[in-house]
Amino acid sequence: MDTKISIDAANKTFGDGERQIVALQGVDLDIGSNEFVTFVGASGCGKSTLLRCIGGLETLTSGSITVDGSAISGPSVDRAMVFQHYSLYPWLTVMENIKFSRLLQVHRTDITSADVEVASGRADALLDLMGLTHVRDAYPNQLSGGMQQRVAIARALLPRPQILLMDEPFGALDAQTREVMHDLILHVSKLEKTTIVFVTHDVEEAIYLGQRVVVMAPRPGRIDSIYPVELPAKRDQDMKLSTEFMQQKKAILHRIRETAGMRTDYELLERMTRQAEQQQ
């Protein structure tokens, strides 16, 4: 595997003393070039923290994260981030939102008008790819949630990032739109050879998209287990109905529940219901 991102003994703590939270402890992972890795795990197991550290939005307490062998020292256009909430500028049109970061840079001396022209051509191509050409002059509040998220993805892809970091990007979308977005992002990752690190709560989504599913565990946040996905590279929605898919989904869900120490005490619930009925 040609390693793109190397995470080595990564630790991250927040606060100190009794209030100290170990968000990440001893995380080791190599992510390959053009690999699509998905992260799942119980709430608070450090998924977003790890993603933010790769994005350079947080710094590790100890350990290191390198990209192509160089330690990261902050955010970079090579590592674009997409979050659950679209964070588009409501006063800018779709096209202006996509080109916003480029427009901000026009005063930089190392950016030529030719660069801006290339970016404009790429913005047109991305609009087309995302099926947004017909709404290029619309404002965000005139778009559906799925369309807004497509604008946010096009904006992230404009500088041709080598790495795309996605934190529950489709969490707020309905099931049908989410399926469309899955096939779209798989298509983009192949076309652009982007390395994608994707955090989700949806195990089905994690298996469908990922070449590997990393299960994290909480308190302290750490990698619990890694599941290679054996599905054919060219995904098809019907694969979700296959026995292999179902079995892997079941195994991962089971593992997440175990790591979270979650247990539904049905007996207690039944006793409480009976007591309440007797008191009526």
Chain residues that interact with ligand ATP, rule: CB under 6 A: 14-15, 21, 23, 41, 43-49, 221
User: Shortest approach of ligand ATP to residue 26 CB, angstroms?
Assistant: 15
Q: Which is nearer to ligand ATP, 5 or 45 (CB)?
A: 45
Tell me the closest approach of the beta carbon of residue 16 to ligand ATP, in angstroms: 11
Pick the closer one to ligand ATP by CB: 48 or 195.
Answer: 48
For residue 142, the 8-state DSSP code is: G
Kindly state the DSSP code that residue 189 receives in the 8-state scheme: H
Compute the least distance from the CB of residue 21 to ligand ATP, in Å. Answer: 5
Query: What is the spatial distance between Cα 119 and Cα 136, in angstroms, rounded to a whole number?
Result: 15
State which residue, 25 or 195, has the beta carbon closest to ligand ATP. 25
Q: How far is the CB of 262 from ligand ATP (least distance, A)?
A: 13
For residue 174, the 8-state DSSP code is: -
Please report how close the Cβ of residue 182 comes to ligand ATP at its closest, in angstroms.
19
Nearest partner of 169 among 227, 95, 262, 87, judged by Cα: 87
Q: Helices (DSSP H) in the chain: which residue ranges?
A: 47-55, 94-104, 113-129, 145-157, 175-192, 203-209, 243-260, 266-279
Nearer to ligand ATP, 25 or 211 (CB): 25
Contact between 82 and 169 under an 8 Å Cβ cutoff? The reply is yes
- Estimate the crossing angle of helix 175-192 against helix 113-129, to 10 degrees: 140
H or E segment and range at residue 135: none
Q: Which is nearer to ligand ATP, 17 or 90 (CB)?
A: 17
Least distance in Å: CB of 40 to ligand ATP? 9
Instruction: Determine contact, residues 206/213, Cβ cutoff 8 Å.
Output: yes
State the sign of the Cα–Cα–Cα–Cα dihedral 177, 86, 52, 104. positive
Nearer to ligand ATP, 23 or 65 (CB): 23
